[in-house]
């Protein structure tokens, strides 16, 4: 075989696969040929012509070991598989719906194609050259992909995927073509140490299991003699500190050491001459992004090994937050001693080999000082921060420099506390007493914590603590000398005794308050009870047994004082004035003859007076006077009733008001709970206030003025408003004129006057109809008319030809008719509404024999109406005949023209009938001509359209641009019968002759020629009746009258899509340009023929009617 035979074979297989793939788009059809192309021994530059395979492989495998190269190649195989599917989808005859674009946020695309380098270049070759915000797409001007080019690129993608897959599995027949691109894969003679990475922890065990290997051969770069050792020492833990070791000492029985321990251990003179060997360490695996830091986590989604910082940054993107990562614990390859260390005591950063701190000379592993005295004085972080004095513990403002109490500086330390001397001549009692350095409390018990603040009493000077707690050397006690006088006992410390009493009293009070709270007694009551009863009695017991009698005594004393004051005793008045009250000259009138007080009022006064009985009496009388004055100001003048109400309510004003108002409301309660009917509101009642109050209570009017307005409107002469109508109108507005307009609305149909609340309006217009007329109109429309006749009885809105507006109108009309129509009429409305919705189904058919409609689920031409059981064609809507079987509708019509005598006898009248009017909305066909009035209304769906062009008729403004006509109108194209019916038959025949279209001028054999027999719709007596035309025929018009012969010629023009514009004269051409908004501005010195030719060219650019019936 010649040298060029692989190239020839490659070209033949490529050409065959490309043609097959561009037609079928199936990868299975070319799978065997692709494997053949992958096995052909050709260089990559000759085998791959469209994209650089070498560059793609280098980009995805650069700077990696063998394991990572295999992982990169596996990702590349997945990406090439997805790219292969993209190419096959583009070459497939049944392309996907969204083949024009590729989205970047697609998870499959993001984890495969976008995860390798060079994937988007392949998509660019496919044709995805337009860069979008969220992906790639074909340019807008490209309608179809270049299947030949896509097939060629897809074949190369499939071939490369097959070759890379064989390289991963090690089955590639010609790996030498990849030795310069992926050397780590194709090398055959590679040692096990290069192929397998042994963790440091397993290296030593592996070295023990392996037999001794022969020493390596010397190389030119080897300096010095070879050592007898078989391999460098393996890494292990330090013999002293347990950290990762860096050297091994053969003289010390091959013990490993880290750098710091080695420096410390071999500093001894006997070990200073030892020689140590460095331990080889495996290189740490670095991050795949930065390439510097060690690997912290491995992501299984994006197949990357990242360090801590790169992992946090890379996976902070919203699209990559859900990736699952596995934390990788790196092997210990370095000792903490290799880096500088910080002293825990003085925070000095020392060198890595230093054992002692260079500042405080503390050991490297020593902990921080735990005593407060050894640490420096803490300084506030900010000069504006509050600070606590070290001497008196007072919290000072941040701006002050000296303490506000002891005037010591802010940074001054705590002064030493001298021992307390019981007397000037006595010795200090240091063994039992000591002063707390925080709260200055004199403690008498030998304890390490203060009895008051529970803080440690340790002092730097050692003065505050008693001698029994201080660690001092034992001193022998001095024996008393004979003959010496004994010392007197120390005096009692009065200050200490006072402090202890205060402490005991405070703790006792707190205990009593807590016990009282469990019984529901307030702290104020406890404190006042202690003041009254003393400390010997429990406050709770005293409050239960003695307080009620004391409160009764206070009430009796207050009543006695009130009687004395009434008798003119000035002493009591003076006492009230001294106690802070003001003299009341009318106290007797306010309080009445005998004051009646309650225990609740007496208790409040007793608490306010702090347990003082006399002050409580005066306070009770003052409070009662204030409450009585408040009740008198509210209209309650009977002092006795007010006294009773306050006593029963416990002195509460609100409770007293409720009791005083209850008798006043009793008649009202009796009236509202009786079964008698409520008397009507009489606007002419003289008690106007009562009528207004009743209006407020019954009709919830917003104000008193609105009630008066209701009464004023009802009192107007010659009005017949009902009370409910006036109230509803007044609630809407306080304007009298506006209310009159609301109350006087004339119904346009029955001409009666009703208020606005009794008028009904539709959402489609502004017309208002009374309830009776509204109900009558829609009842008749539902029973006797079509669903589309249910419009406003006044203006006929909405436009039934707008389906969007009609659906919205029916949805709101259903809500209005629900409570208006009778039940059976409303059900009939729902039935017609359902039929209206079914007509929108494309499978809905109207029967040509009757007026029924149904859903046809079959796919046969012959369908049978379920109502009349007659058959017709589902496509042409003609009655079914046996000859229509196995024939299309066009073939069947042609057969009838040639073989049916009845059809031949009808002549062109039958042609016009068969090509009659078809409703463009519901597709119901009418065997009628299009002549006469062009405004046609479908009897099935009430759709109004032009019978010549099928365009809709609009009752009001339409959506056509620059159309300002608001009446009944339609927009006809220039080839519509609406315009061409005014042309003479010879002119229409001339248009057909120019286009080579044949037409009839003679009647068919056997047809009557004296009268036109074409069926048309006529209005006779208000009814639409189908009857023959009956107009006398003219010679040369194929047995038709002139009107229907024009319709016949226009149907031929429309069927062959002929443009009548070339036959326009100058006037018609200008009018047509105005009608279709063609620029008719004439250039300066432009010739008439040139001007008309230019206008004709622009006019013919306007398309003909889109819905005009034409030949298919």
Q: Active-site residue numbers?
A: 933
Residue 972 CA to residue 938 CA, distance in Å, equals 18
DSSP-derived secondary structure for 875-903:
TT-PBP-GGGTTS-HHHHHHHHHHH-HHH
Angle at which helix 639-648 crosses helix 653-672, to 10 degrees, equals: 100
Any idea which residue has 């795949």 for tokens?
288
Cβ 419 vs Cβ 430: under 8 Å: yes
1019 DSSP β-pair partners? 1024
1089/706 Cα distance (integer angstroms): 80
Please work out, in degrees rounded to the nearest 5, the angle formed at the alpha carbon of residue 1049 by the alpha carbons of 1044 and 1052: 130
CB–CB of 499/451 below 8 Å? no
Q: What does the H/E/C string look like for 117-128?
A: CCHHHHHHHHCC
Q: What contacts 823, CB < 8 A, 6 or more positions away?
A: none
The full DSSP string for 556-595 is: HHHHHHHHHHHTT-HHHHHHHHHTT----TTHHHHH-SS-
What six digits make up the tokens of 412? 């001054």
Give the CA dihedral 864, 869, 870, 873, nearest 10 degrees.
-10
> SS3 for 764?
coil
- Both tokens of 931, joined, read 């002549």
Instruction: Give the span between the Cα atoms of 319 and 315, in whole angstroms.
Output: 8
Bridge partners, 101 (sequence order)? 137
Are 538 and 481 in contact by the 8 Å Cβ rule? The answer is no
Helices 494-518 and 523-533: angle between axes, nearest 10 degrees = 130
Q: Which residues contact 514 (CB under 8 A, 6 or more apart)?
A: none
Angle between helices 823-838 and 803-818 (to 10 degrees): 160
SS3 1019: strand
Instruction: Provide CB contacts within 8 A for 803, sequence distance 6+.
Output: none
- The DSSP secondary-structure symbol of 1041 reads -
Pairing of strands 935-937, 759-761: unpaired
**Are 1044 and 957 within 8 A, CB to CB?**
no
Burial (Cβ within 10 Å: 0-12, 13-18, ≥19) of residue 585: exposed
How far apart, in whole angstroms, are the C-alpha atoms of residue 444 and residue 857?
108
Give, to the nearest 10 degrees, the angle between helix 523-533 and helix 599-608: 80
Spatial contact of 1008 and 1033, defined as CB atoms under 8 Å apart: no
CA atoms within 13 A on the CB side of 246: 11
Q: Where are the alpha helices (DSSP H) in 819-945?
A: 823-838, 889-899, 901-906, 908-914
Q: Give Cα 803 distance to the centre of its chain.
A: 34
For residue 443, what are its two tokens?
């403690």
| β-strand partners of 387 | 396
CA atoms of 118 and 1017, how far apart (whole Å): 73
Residue 798: asked if its preceding bond is cis (omega within 30°), the reply is: yes
For the record, the structure tokens of 224 come out as: 């010095």
């Amino acid at each position: 075989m010649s040298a060029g035979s692989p190239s020839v074979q490659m070209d033949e297989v490529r050409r065959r696969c490309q043609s097959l793939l561009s037609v079928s788009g199936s990868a299975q059809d070319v799978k065997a040929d692709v494997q053949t192309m992958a096995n052909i021994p050709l260089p990559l530059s000759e085998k791959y012509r469209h994209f650089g395979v070498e560059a793609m492989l280098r980009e995805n495998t650069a700077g990696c070991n063998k394991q990572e190269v295999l992982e990169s190649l596996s990702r590349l195989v997945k990406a090439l598989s997805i790219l292969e599917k993209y190419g096959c989808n583009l070459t497939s005859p049944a392309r996907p719906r969204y083949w024009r674009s590729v989205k970047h946020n697609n998870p499959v695309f993001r984890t495969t194609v976008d995860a390798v380098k060079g994937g988007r270049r392949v998509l660019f070759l496919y044709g995805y050259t337009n860069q979008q915000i969220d992906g790639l797409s074909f340019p807008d001007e490209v309608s179809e992909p270049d299947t030949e080019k896509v097939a060629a690129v897809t074949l190369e993608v499939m071939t490369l995927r097959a070759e890379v897959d064989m390289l991963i599995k090690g089955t590639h027949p010609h790996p030498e073509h990849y030795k310069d691109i992926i050397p780590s894969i194709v090398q055959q003679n590679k040692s096990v140490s290069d192929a397998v990475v042994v963790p440091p922890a397993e290296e030593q065990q592996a070295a023990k299991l392996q037999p001794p290997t022969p020493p390596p051969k010397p190389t030119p770069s080897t300096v010095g003699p070879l050592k007898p050792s078989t391999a460098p020492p393996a890494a292990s833990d330090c013999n002293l500190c347990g950290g990762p070791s860096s050297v091994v000492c053969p003289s010390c029985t091959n013990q490993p050491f880290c750098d710091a321990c080695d420096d410390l251990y071999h500093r001894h003179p006997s070990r200073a001459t030892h020689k140590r060997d460095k331990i080889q360490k495996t290189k740490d695996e670095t991050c795949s992004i930065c390439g510097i830091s060690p690997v912290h986590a491995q992501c299984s989604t994006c197949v990357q090994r990242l360090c801590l910082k790169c992992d946090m940054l890379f996976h902070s993107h919203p699209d990559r937050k859900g990736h699952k990562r596995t934390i990788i614990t790196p092997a210990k390859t370095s000792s903490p001693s290799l880096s500088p260390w910080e002293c825990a005591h003085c925070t000095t950063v020392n060198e890595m080999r230093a054992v002692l701190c260079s500042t405080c000379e503390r050991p490297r592993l020593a902990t921080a000082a735990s005593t407060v005295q050894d640490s420096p004085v803490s300084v506030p972080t900010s000069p504006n921060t509050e600070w606590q004095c070290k001497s008196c513990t007072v919290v000072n403002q941040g701006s002050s420099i000296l303490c506000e109490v002891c005037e010591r500086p802010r940074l001054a330390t705590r002064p030493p506390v001298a021992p307390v001397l019981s007397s000037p001549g006595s010795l200090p009692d240091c063994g039992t007493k000591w002063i707390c350095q925080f709260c200055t409390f004199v403690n008498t018990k030998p304890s390490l914590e203060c009895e008051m603040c529970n803080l440690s009493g340790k002092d730097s000077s050692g003065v505050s603590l008693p001698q029994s707690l201080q660690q001092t050397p034992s001193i022998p006690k001095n024996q008393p000398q004979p003959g010496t006088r004994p010392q007197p006992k120390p005096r009692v410390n009065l200050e200490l005794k006072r402090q202890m009493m205060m402490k005991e009293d405070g703790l006792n009070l707190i205990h009593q308050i807590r016990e009282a709270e469990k019984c529901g007694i307030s702290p104020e009551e406890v404190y006042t009870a202690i003041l009254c009863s003393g400390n010997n009695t429990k406050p709770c017991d005293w409050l239960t047994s003695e307080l009620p009698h004391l409160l009764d005594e206070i009430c009796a004393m207050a009543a006695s004082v009130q009687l004395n004051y009434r008798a003119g005793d000035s002493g009591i008045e003076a006492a009230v004035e001294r106690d802070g009250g003001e003299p009341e000259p009318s106290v007797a009138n306010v309080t009445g003859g005998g004051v009646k007080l309650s225990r609740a009022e007496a208790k409040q006064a007793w608490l306010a007076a702090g347990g003082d009985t006399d002050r409580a009496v005066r306070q009770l009388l003052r409070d009662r006077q204030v409450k009585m004055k408040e009740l008198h100001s509210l209209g309650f003048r009977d002092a006795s009733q007010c006294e009773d109400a306050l006593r029963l309510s416990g002195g509460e004003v609100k409770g007293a008001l409720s009791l005083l108002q209850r008798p006043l409301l009793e008649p009202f309660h009796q009236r509202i709970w009786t079964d008698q009917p409520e008397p009507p509101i009489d606007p002419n009642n003289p008690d106007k206030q009562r009528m207004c109050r009743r209006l407020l209570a019954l009709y919830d009017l917003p104000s008193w003025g609105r009630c008066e307005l209701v009464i004023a409107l009802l009192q107007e002469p010659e009005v017949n408003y009902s009370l409910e109508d006036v109230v509803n109108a007044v609630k809407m507005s306080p304007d009298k004129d506006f209310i009159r307009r609301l109350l006087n609305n004339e119904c346009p149909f029955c001409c009666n006057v009703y208020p606005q609340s009794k008028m009904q309006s539709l959402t489609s217009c502004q017309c208002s109809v009374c309830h009776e007329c509204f109900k009558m109109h829609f009842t008749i429309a539902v029973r006797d008319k079509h669903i589309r006749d249910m419009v406003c009885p006044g203006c006929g809105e909405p436009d039934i030809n707008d389906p969007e507006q009609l659906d919205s109108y029916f949805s709101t009309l259903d809500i209005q008719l629900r409570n208006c129509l009778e039940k059976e009429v409303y059900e009939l409305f729902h039935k017609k509404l359902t039929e209206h919705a079914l007509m929108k189904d494309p499978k809905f058919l109207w029967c040509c024999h009757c007026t029924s409609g149904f859903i046809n689920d079959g796919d046969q031409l012959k369908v049978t109406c379920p109502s009349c059981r007659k058959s017709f064609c589902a496509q042409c809507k003609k009655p079914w005949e046996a000859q229509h079987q196995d024939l299309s509708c066009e073939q069947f019509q042609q057969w009838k023209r040639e073989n049916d005598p009845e059809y031949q006898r009808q002549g062109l009248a039958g042609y016009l009938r068969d090509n009659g009017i078809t409703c463009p909305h519901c597709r119901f066909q009418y065997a009628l001509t299009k002549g006469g009035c062009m405004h046609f209304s479908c009897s099935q769906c009430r759709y109004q359209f032009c019978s010549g062009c099928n365009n809709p008729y609009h009752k009001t403004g339409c959506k056509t641009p620059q159309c300002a006509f608001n009446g009944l109108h339609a927009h006809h194209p220039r080839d519509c019968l609406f315009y061409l019916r005014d042309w003479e038959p010879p002119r229409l025949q001339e248009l057909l002759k120019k286009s080579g279209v044949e037409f009839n001028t003679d009647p068919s054999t056997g047809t009557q020629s004296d009268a036109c027999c074409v069926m048309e719709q006529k209005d006779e007596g208000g009814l639409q009746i189908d009857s023959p035309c009956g107009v006398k025929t003219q010679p040369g018009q194929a047995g038709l009258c002139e009107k229907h012969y024009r319709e016949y010629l226009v149907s031929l023009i429309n069927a062959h899509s002929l443009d009548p514009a070339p036959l326009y004269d100058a006037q018609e051409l200008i009018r047509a340009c105005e009608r279709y908004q063609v620029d008719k501005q004439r250039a300066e010195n432009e010739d008439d023929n040139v001007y008309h030719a230019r206008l004709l060219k622009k006019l013919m650019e306007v398309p003909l009617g889109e819905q005009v019936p034409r030949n298919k």
